[in-house]
Chain A
Amino acid sequence: MRVSPIKGHARLSRWIGPASAWIAAAVVAAVCFFIVGHIVREGYAHVDWKFLTTDPDPSPAESTGGGVRIPIVGTTFLVLLSTLLTFPIALGAAVYLAEYMDERWAVTKAIRLGLEVLAGVPSVVFGMFGVAMFSHGVFTFMSSSGAEGSDVAFGRSFLVAATVMAIHVLPFVIKVMEEAIRSVPLSYRQGAAALGVTKWRAIRRIVLPAAAPGIATGVILGMGLAAGDTAIVWLTLGGTMNMAVDNWWALDQIVNVLRGTGSTLTTFIYFSSPAGEGNAPELAYGGAMVLILLVITLNAAATLIGRARRQTR
C-alpha cells in the first residue's frame, strides 16, 4: 500500500502566529516588571522609619519634607471602617441570594441585576454622589456644618468616605461571598436536612463555616479595592493632607476624627506627584511603595486563603 509522503518542510507562516503571542506576552511581562521595579527603585531610598512616622508637610517651601504617618493611619482607618459597614450587610445579602432567594420573584431579580450593574459603575460617580448626598443638612452629623447660616453640611469626612466606599465595594463583596456560599457542596446541606436540621441552623453551623475562607477572601479583596481607590477619597475625605484633629489618637476624639477630614496613601501620592500641589515625586514614590506593599499583602492573603480552601476540599 503506497501512501503519499508525510514528511514536510516547516513553513514559516506557521510560526508567525505563535511568535506574535509570545511577543505579546513578553511585552506585558516586561511592562509589569518595569512598573514594579521602577516603583521599588524610586521608592526604596525614601522609605525609612522617619518617613513612616512623620506627618505630611504640605507647605510648598518644605515639599521635600514630611512623611506618611497620617496617610497610613487614614488608609487603615478608612479600610477598617468601610469593611465594618460592608461586612454584615454583604454577608446577609449573600446568604439570602445564595440560599433563600426565589429566582422567579421580580424583587430579587431586580436586586441581583442592580448589584451586577452597580459593580461596573466608576468610583468617581460614587464620589460625586457621596459628597453631594451627604452635604444635605440632615447628614450634618456625619461631617461638620458647611457655610455659615445655611442648612448645608460639609459633606466630607471619614464617616462619609467610609460609607461611600462601602457602597462602592458592596456589590463586589456580595458577589465573591455568594460564590463562596454556593460552592459549598450540596451534599452538606442535604446531609443536614436528612438529619432534621432546620435550614437556618444548617446554614449557620455547616454552610457558613465551610464557606468561611471564601467569605474572608471577599472581605480582603474588598479591603484592597478600598485601599487603592483615589477618586472617592479625594472627593469625600476633604482633599487635605493631615487630619482635622491634631491628637487623633486620643480616644475621646474619636467622634471628631470620624466627622473630620483626612488623607490616605492614595491622596498623598496624588498630592505629592508632579500633577498635585505638593510636587515632590520622591515622596509620591515612597508613598506608592508603601501602598503597593499593602495591596500586595492583601492580595497574597486572599490567594493563600483561596489555595488553602482548595486543598481542604
Chain B
Amino acid sequence: MSSEYVQAGGSVTAPPPSIDLTRRVRHASEHLAQPLLWACAVFSGAVVGVVIAYVFWYALPIFSRQALPFIATGDWDTAIDMAWTEPDVIFGALPLIAGTTLTTLGALLVSVVLGLGCAIFLAELAPDGLRRPLEAVIQLLAGIPSVVFGLVGLSVVVPLLSGLVPKDAYDVVTDIPLEGDSLLAGIIVLSFMILPFFVTVAVDSLRAVPRSYVDGGLALGIDRWRTITRIQLPAAAPGLLAGAVLAIARAIGEAIALSMVAGSIAFVPSAKWGLQYFPFMPVRTMASAIVETGGEGMSIPLIHDALFGLAAMLLLASLVLSLAARMIVSWWGRRLALDTGRSL
C-alpha cells in the first residue's frame, strides 16, 4: 500500500475501491465462440431440413404422374425390369408396402412378447450373477451389423424353414414358388434385430417406476408377479409404448438383412390357398427395394423417381413414428406422473 493512506496516529485505512462494473472482458474468443457454436447448431438443423426437403421434393414427380395407383396397385418387379428400356412404365408399390407392413408387425409381435419377458427378468427378477452377463450379450446383439444378421439368417434360418414348407405347396400355390427365404424368415431375423433395442428401452422404463409403487403393492399382499403386471407395467406403459413405436421405426427402415432373407420378390402374401402357406410366401420391403435397385438403377429417371417415392414414404413414416413416440412420452407420461413431484 502506498504511504499516503497512512494517517496520523499510524492507523491504516483501505484505499477507496474503484470498481467499474461496466468493464467488459475483451477476448476475441468470447465474441467468436457463441456465434460459431450457433452456426454449428444451425448447420446441423439445416442439414436435417435439406435431407427432408430433398427427398420429398424428388418424390413429387412419381406422385404427380401416378397419384394413388403408386401405392394402391401391385406391380413392381416387372415395372422395374421394363423401366430400363421402356419410356413409360406404371409402378405399383403395394406389394412393397405389404412386405414392409407384414415383416414389421410380425417382428414387433415377437420382439415385444419376448422382449417384455426379458425386460421384466432383467429389471426385476434376475439375480445379479445372471443379469450382468445377459445385459452384456444383449448389448452385443445390438452392436451386430444388419448385414451380419442377414448372413446368419440366410445360412441358418432359411435352410431350416425350407424344410418346413408344406410338401404340396408346389401344386397348391400356383402363383409363386414357396421357399425358405420368406416372410417368416424375414420376421424371425428382424425380430432379433429390433429386440435389443426394445429391451433396453423397456428395462429403462421399468426401472424408472418409483420403488414406492412396488413396495405399496407388495405391502398390500399382492404377490411379486402381480405387482409387476398390475402396478409396474401400467406405470411404465408410456415408456414401453414409445419403445415399441421406435422399434417399428427401426424395422420399417431395415434394408439389407431383409433383402437377403425375405425372398426378394414383390408379392402381396395371400391366405387364399390356406394359412399354412402364408408364412412361406416371399416378400420384398420398400427399404430392400431401394437398396437392391438403387445401386445401378438411379441413373434411369423413371426408376430414380419411383425409388424416391419409396424413400419419401419411409421418411414420412419414420417422422410420424418419432413424433408419435415423443408425444406418447410427454402427454401420457405427464398424465401418469401428475403431481408426483410433491408426493414422491
Chain A interfacial positions (CB closer than 8 Å to B): 14, 17-18, 20-25, 27-29, 31-33, 35-36, 38-39, 42, 88-93, 95-97, 99-101, 107-108, 110-111, 114-129, 131-133, 135, 146-147, 155, 167, 170-171, 174, 198-201, 203-204, 224, 227-231, 234-235, 239, 266, 269-270, 273-275, 281, 284-285, 288, 291-292, 295-296, 299, 303
Alpha-carbon distance A26/B243, docked complex (angstroms): 22
18 contacts between A and B (CB under 8 A): A17-B226, A22-B125, A35-B152, A42-B155, A101-B41, A117-B319, A118-B51, A120-B249, A121-B253, A121-B315, A122-B254, A122-B314, A124-B314, A167-B47, A228-B144, A230-B147, A285-B151, A299-B143
Q: What residues of B have a CB within 8 angstroms of the CB of A23 in the complex?
A: 117
Alpha-carbon distance A229/B253, docked complex (angstroms): 12
Residues of A contacting B: mostly: helix
Q: Give the size of the chain B interface in residues (CB under 8 angstroms).
A: 97
14 further interface pairs, Cβ-Cβ under 8 Å (given A120-B249, A128-B308, A228-B144): A28-B134, A28-B199, A29-B134, A88-B40, A99-B37, A111-B45, A117-B318, A121-B51, A122-B287, A200-B30, A200-B33, A230-B255, A234-B295, A235-B295
B140 close to A (CB within 8 Å): yes
Q: What residues of B have a CB within 8 angstroms of the CB of A33 in the complex?
A: 137
Residues of B contacting A: mostly: helix
Complex interface bits, B154-181 against A, C-beta within 8 A gives 1, otherwise 0? 1110000000000000000000000000
Q: What residues of A have a CB within 8 angstroms of the CB of B291 in the complex?
A: 124, 127, 230-231, 234-235
Alpha-carbon distance A100/B138, docked complex (angstroms): 37
- Interface-side segment among B7-15, B71-79, B320-328, B333-341: B320-328
Contact (Cβ within 8 A) B114 A28:
yes
B148 close to A (CB within 8 Å): yes
B94 close to A (CB within 8 Å): no
Contact (Cβ within 8 A) A32 B137:
yes
The one of A21, A115, A275 that contacts B44, using a Cβ cutoff of 8 Å: A115
B129 close to A (CB within 8 Å): no
Contact (Cβ within 8 A) A291 B145:
yes
Q: What residues of A have a CB within 8 angstroms of the CB of B146 in the complex?
A: 228, 230
Contact (Cβ within 8 A) B37 A92:
yes
B195 close to A (CB within 8 Å): yes
Contact (Cβ within 8 A) B144 A128:
no
Nearest opposing residue in chain B for A36, CB measure: B140
Alpha-carbon distance A303/B223, docked complex (angstroms): 36
Chain B interfacial positions (CB closer than 8 Å to A): 25, 27, 29-30, 33-34, 36-45, 47-49, 51-52, 54-55, 58, 113-118, 120-122, 125-126, 130, 133-134, 137-141, 143-152, 154-156, 192, 195, 199, 223-226, 228-229, 246, 249-250, 252-256, 259-261, 264, 287, 290-291, 294-296, 298-299, 304, 307-308, 311, 314-315, 318-319, 321-323, 326
Nearest opposing residue in chain A for B39, CB measure: A92
Nearest opposing residue in chain B for A13, CB measure: B225
Contact (Cβ within 8 A) A270 B39:
no
Contact (Cβ within 8 A) A21 B125:
yes
Alpha-carbon distance A38/B141, docked complex (angstroms): 13
Nearest opposing residue in chain A for B319, CB measure: A117
Contact (Cβ within 8 A) B42 A39:
no
Contact (Cβ within 8 A) A18 B125:
yes
Q: What residues of A have a CB within 8 angstroms of the CB of B29 in the complex?
A: 200-201, 204
Closest CB in chain A relative to B179 CB, distance in Å: 12
Contact (Cβ within 8 A) A295 B143:
yes
| Contact A24 B147, CB 8 Å, known A18-B224, A124-B253, A132-B304 | no
| Contact A198 B30, CB 8 Å, known A111-B42, A239-B296, A299-B143 | yes
Contact (Cβ within 8 A) B260 A275:
yes
- Most B CB atoms within 10 A — which of A14, A230, A295? A230
Closest CB in chain B relative to A142 CB, distance in Å: 15
Closest CB in chain A relative to B86 CB, distance in Å: 19
Alpha-carbon distance A170/B45, docked complex (angstroms): 10
Contact (Cβ within 8 A) A174 B253:
no
Q: What residues of A have a CB within 8 angstroms of the CB of B249 in the complex?
A: 120, 122
Q: What residues of B have a CB within 8 angstroms of the CB of A39 in the complex?
A: 148, 152
Contact (Cβ within 8 A) A25 B151:
no
Contact (Cβ within 8 A) B144 A292:
yes
Alpha-carbon distance A62/B254, docked complex (angstroms): 31
Contact (Cβ within 8 A) A128 B259:
no
The one of A27, A126, A230 that contacts B114, using a Cβ cutoff of 8 Å: A27
Contact (Cβ within 8 A) A110 B143:
no
The one of B40, B41, B114, B133 that contacts A24, using a Cβ cutoff of 8 Å: B114
Q: What residues of A have a CB within 8 angstroms of the CB of B155 in the complex?
A: 42, 274, 281
Closest CB in chain B relative to A46 CB, distance in Å: 13
Closest CB in chain B relative to A89 CB, distance in Å: 5
The one of B37, B134, B318 that contacts A121, using a Cβ cutoff of 8 Å: B318
Q: What residues of A have a CB within 8 angstroms of the CB of B141 in the complex?
A: 31-32, 35
Alpha-carbon distance A133/B58, docked complex (angstroms): 10
Contact (Cβ within 8 A) B147 A122:
no
The one of A38, A122, A147, A296 that contacts B255, using a Cβ cutoff of 8 Å: A122
Closest CB in chain A relative to B242 CB, distance in Å: 11
Alpha-carbon distance A167/B261, docked complex (angstroms): 28
